[in-house]
Amino acid sequence: MPSPSTPSPVVTRIAPSPTGSMHIGNARAALFNWLYAKHTGGTFLLRVEDTDRERSTEESVQVIVDSLTWLGLEWDGEPVFQFVRAPLHKAAVQRLIEGGNAYRCYMTTEEADAVKEQSRAEGHALRSPWRDREPGASEEGKPHVIRFRTPNDGDTVVQDLVRDTVRFPNKDIEDFVLMRTDGTVIYNLAVTVDDHDMGITHVIRGEEHLSNGGRQTLLYNALGWPVPIFAHLPLILSKTGGKLSKRDGAQSVGEFREMGYLPEAIRNYLAKLGWGHGDDELFTDAEAIAWFDVKDVVKGGAKLDFDKLNHVNNYHMRRADNARLADLVLPILRERGVTLPADAQERLVLVIPLVKEGAKTLLELADLSLYALKARPLVLDEKTLGHLNDETRERFARLLEVLRTANDWTPDGLQATLKIFAESEGVGLGKIGPALRGVLSGGAPAPDLGSALTALGREESLGRIDDALSQVR
**42 or 234: CB nearest RNA:** 234
Q: Shortest distance, CB of residue 248 to RNA, whole angstroms? A: 12
**224 or 281: CB nearest RNA:** 281
Q: Shortest distance, CB of residue 91 to RNA, whole angstroms? A: 18
Give the dihedral sign, CA 162/168/172/173.
positive
**41 or 402: CB nearest RNA:** 402
Q: Shortest distance, CB of residue 62 to RNA, whole angstroms? A: 17
Query: For 351-388, b where at least 16 C-beta lie within 10 A, e where not — what string?
Result: bbebbbeebbbbbbbbbbbbbbbbeeebebeeebbebb
**76 or 172: CB nearest RNA:** 172
**377 or 433: CB nearest RNA:** 433
Distance CA 447, CA 388 (A): 21
Q: Shortest distance, CB of residue 457 to RNA, whole angstroms? A: 18
Q: Shortest distance, CB of residue 302 to RNA, whole angstroms? A: 3
Catalytic residue of the set 38, 142, 243, 246: 246
Distance CA 298, CA 301 (A): 8
Q: Shortest distance, CB of residue 31 to RNA, whole angstroms? A: 13
Q: Shortest distance, CB of residue 400 to RNA, whole angstroms? A: 18
**224 or 278: CB nearest RNA:** 278
Query: According to the 3-state scheme, what is the secondary structure of the chain?
Result: CCCCCCCCCCEEEECCCCCCCCEHHHHHHHHHHHHHHHHHCCEEEEEECCCCCCCCCHHHHHHHHHHHHHHCCCCCCCCEECHHHHHHHHHHHHHHHHCCCEEEECCCHHHHHHHHHHHHHCCCCCCCHHHHCCCCHHHCCCCCEEEECCCCCCEEEEEECCCEEEEEEHHHCCCCEEECCCCCECHHHHHHHHHHHCCCCEEEEEHHHHHHHHHHHHHHHHHCCCCCEEEEECCEECCCCCECCHHHCCCEHHHHHHCCCCHHHHHHHHHHCCCCECCECCCCHHHHHHHCCHHHCCCCCEECCHHHHHHHHHHHHHHCCHHHHHHHHHHHHHHCCCCCCCCHHHHHHHHHHHHHHHCCCHHHHHHHHHHHHCCCCCCCCHHHHHHCCHHHHHHHHHHHHHHHHCCCCCHHHHHHHHHHHHHHHCCCHHHCHHHHHHHHHCCCCCCCHHHHHHHHCHHHHHHHHHHHHHCCC
**72 or 358: CB nearest RNA:** 358
**35 or 210: CB nearest RNA:** 210
Catalytic residue check, 246: yes
Q: Shortest distance, CB of residue 120 to RNA, whole angstroms? A: 5
- Would you name the residues annotated as active-site residues? 246
